[in-house]
Amino acid sequence: RAILAWHECKARYRVLSGPNGAGKSTAGAADLVSYAMGYNPIREEEYNTPNVCWAVCVEFNSSGRVMYRKISDMLPRDEQGRPRWTYNKQEHLFEIHNGSQIHLKSQKEGESSLLAERCRAIWIDEAMGGDTGEENFGELQARGLPDEPLDMLFTLTPKMDIGLDWMRRKLWTEPGKEPHPDFI
53, β-bridge pairs: 102, 121
Residue 135 near residue 104 (C-beta atoms within 8 A): no
**DSSP result, 85-142:** EEEETTTTEEEETTS-EEEEEESTT-GGGG-S--BSEEEEES---HHHHHHHHHHHHT
| 135 vs 122: which has the higher pLDDT | 122
Question: Residue 112 pLDDT more than 80?
Answer: no
**Cα–Cα distance for residue pair 114/122, rounded to 1 Å:** 11
Nearest to 159 by CA among 124, 127, 122: 127
pLDDT, position 37: 98
- Convert the pLDDT of each residue in 17-75 to its tens digit: 888 888 999 999 999 999 999 999 999 999 999 999 999 988 888 788 999 999 999 99
pLDDT of residue 175: 54
Q: Stretch 6-24: mean pLDDT, rounded?
A: 87
Among 85, 90, 73, which residue's Cα sits nearest to residue 28? 73
Rounded Cα–Cα distance for residues 23 and 16 (Å): 10
pLDDT band (50, 70, 90) for residue 99: very high
- Mean pLDDT score, 127-145: 78
Q: What is the average per-residue pLDDT within 64-87? A: 95
